[in-house]
Amino acid sequence: MFRYLAGCQELPLDLARRKELKLFEKLCHIRFKSLALLNLAFCHRSYAHESNTSVSSNERLEFLGDSVLGLIISEYLYHTLPDKNEGELAKIKSFVVSEESLSSLAQQIRVDNYILIGKGEEYSGGRSKKTLLADALEAIIGAYYIDAGYEAVKKFVLGLLTPEIEKVVQDKHKKDYKSLLQEYVQKRYKTYPRYVVVEKKGPDHDRTFVIEVLINNKCYGKGLGKNKKEAEQQAAGIAYNLIIGKSNP
């Protein structure tokens, strides 16, 4: 379909690694024409940096996979949820393709067993890091799109994500608004939300925290809770729904 490794140095594939990748294919019910491309999808930048050869990382495949994933989910939501407006569709999509969702799915298909990471990343628990797992899954999606085409990768993606979509539609999904807000703000504004305690109410044994979430020094939400975590989640939820609503009028 494309010259997938143009400008890239292939990773060496011995027999043992080929067997591992074949096991992954079997688990996911997919088939790559090029195992080298699948292997590249598992190559974290820490592994590439520590390698003695100038091998490439999976970052370019992750970039592609992010867009392919977004198209597949947007298309599916458009056709299956005709009663939802643009803003509602955007919220559903944001939950489905969030780091929390993708990292959980990556663990389900054992991406952590196959990913190639550097020693430093390994020692710091890299195989369980949500960002690393979610990025690797996007890289696999990008690689499979190149290798097998849109219809094949669409089948793979929807097989993984349709149950997640149903959870969101039925409001049975995990709502980690702090993570969602941070992802969105980081991508859109190139900064991070900041949480500030503005008030503490009540005695020590029955304290209520009031926390504001600031983005570029502007308050986007105020939350209340019996602890800081609860108040931050509430503030993040208000801010997230406000920002998504403004972005999708």
At 91-126, the pLDDT tens digits run 889 889 988 899 999 999 999 999 999 888 888 888
Same domain, 139 and 44: yes
Which contacts of 118-125 are long-range, i.e. CB under 8 A and separated by 24 or more positions?
118/44, 118/46, 118/47, 118/49, 118/50, 119/50, 120/46, 120/50, 121/44, 121/46, 121/47
Both 155 and 195 in one domain: the answer is no
Please indicate, yes or no, whether residues 226 and 187 belong to a single structural domain of this protein. Answer: yes
Active site residue 151: no
Task: Indicate if 132 and 78 belong to the same structural domain.
Answer: yes
Q: What does the chain look like in DSSP terms, one character per residue?
A: ---TTTT-PPPP--HHHHHHHHHHHHHHT---S-HHHHHHHTB-HHHHHHSSS----SHHHHHHHHHHHHHHHHHHHHHH-TTS-HHHHHHHHHHHTSHHHHHHHHHHTTHHHH-B--HHHHHTTGGG-HHHHHHHHHHHHHHHHHHH-HHHHHHHHHHHHHHHHHHHHTT-S---HHHHHHHHHHHHHSS--EEEEEEEES-GGG-EEEEEEEETTEEEEEEEESSHHHHHHHHHHHHHHHHHHHH--
The residue out of 152, 169, 186 marking a domain boundary is 169
CATH number at residue 148: 1.10.1520.10
Does residue 3 lie within any of the structural domains? Answer: no
Compare 233 and 183 and report the one with higher pLDDT: 233
Share of the chain above pLDDT 90, in %: 57
38 and 161 belong to one structural domain: yes
- My answer on whether 35 and 138 are in the same domain is yes
9 band by pLDDT with thresholds 50, 70 and 90: low
* Choice among 62, 66, 176, 183 that is catalytic: 66
pLDDT at 124: 86
The answer on 59 and 20 residing in a single domain is yes
Using the 3D structure, point to which of 124, 143, 169 is the last residue of a domain: 169
User: By residue range, what is the domain housing residue 228?
Assistant: 178-247
What's the whole-number average pLDDT of the chain? 88
CATH number at residue 226: 3.30.160.20
Does some domain include residue 9?
no
Active-site residue flag, 135: no
Q: Which of 62, 121, 135, 138 is catalytic?
A: 138
Give the global pTM. Answer: 0.72
Least confident interval from 84-88, 104-108, 156-160: 84-88
Q: Are both 64 and 156 inside the same structural domain?
A: yes
